Amino acid sequence: KQEVTQIPAALSVPEGENLVLNCSFTDSAIYNLQWFRQDPGKGLTSLLLIQSSQREQTSGRLNASLDKSSGRSTLYIAASQPGDSATYLCAVKSSGGYNKLIFGAGTRLAVHP
Amino acid sequence: DADVTQTPRNRITKTGKRIMLECSQTKGHDRMYWYRQDPGLGLRLIYYSFDVKDINKGEISDGYSVSRQAQAKFSLSLESAIPNQTALYFCATSDSFGGVRETQYFGPGTRLLVL
């Protein structure tokens, strides 16, 4: 059974810091991995999707990497801003099945001025 | 206007009551999903539907039922609400033609409190 773990559960950093959020999964047979952002009252928004054949994806100040063999992904946020404050969720889609996403519990990020 | 809408946004009900949460989408997607989120836990899949005639149970379907009234509408019902169904509920949609880049689009959530 696929399990997804995110560390740390919460993180508070000063504005301008570069930071790394971690995601690990137990079954390497995945179709893709996604990072979502969750804002209160606004649902989830997909930030980056990494296909199983890819090693990383970048969007602006965000970079996500994937190492299937070790069951790990990282989300790197450069030059953090207060507007980055949110909960970040990692989700994997296992191969060989329907479009079922298995989510981690998330990392709650606070960036203070 | 939002592509995926959920009503109500907040609901307080009593144990034993029947309630319905509704989801509508204007994205034209064929796939729809219901999740619940509890503090400290990730989202867990309750039910999913790949088209109007295809409805499937997710990992935590006990105590819930769904109805896919049209391609754009997917409702979740709690036949007899209990306190441990207190949670944040999300509806999501996806496009089966997305292939390896298929992702899900989420509504804003419904916060449910069962007393």
pLDDT digits (tens, 9 = 90+) for A22-47: 999 999 988 899 999 999 888 899 99
**Are B104 and A45 in contact (CB < 8 Å)?**
no
Q: How many helices (H) and strands (E) does chain A have?
A: 0, 11
Split at pLDDT 50, 70, 90, the class of A99 is low
pLDDT (average), residues A69-90: 97
**Nearest CA to CA, how far is B27 from chain A (Å)?**
15
DSSP state, B16? T
**Among A41-45, A93-97, B54-58, which range has the highest average pLDDT?**
B54-58
pLDDT reported for residue A41: 80
| Of the candidate ranges B50-54, B62-66, B85-89, the one whose mean pLDDT is the lowest | B50-54
**Residue of B96, B100, B104 lying closest to A101 (CB–CB):** B104
Inform me whether the pLDDT recorded for B113 exceeds 70.
yes
Inform me whether the pLDDT recorded for A97 exceeds 60.
no
pLDDT (average), residues A96-101: 69
Mean pLDDT over each residue of chain B, to the nearest integer: 93
User: Measured between alpha carbons, how far is B56 from A76 in angstroms, rounded to an integer?
Assistant: 36
From residue A109, alpha-carbon distances to A24, A57, B5, B100 in Å are: 18, 21, 26, 29
| C-alpha torsion sign, points B98, B101, B105, B111 | positive
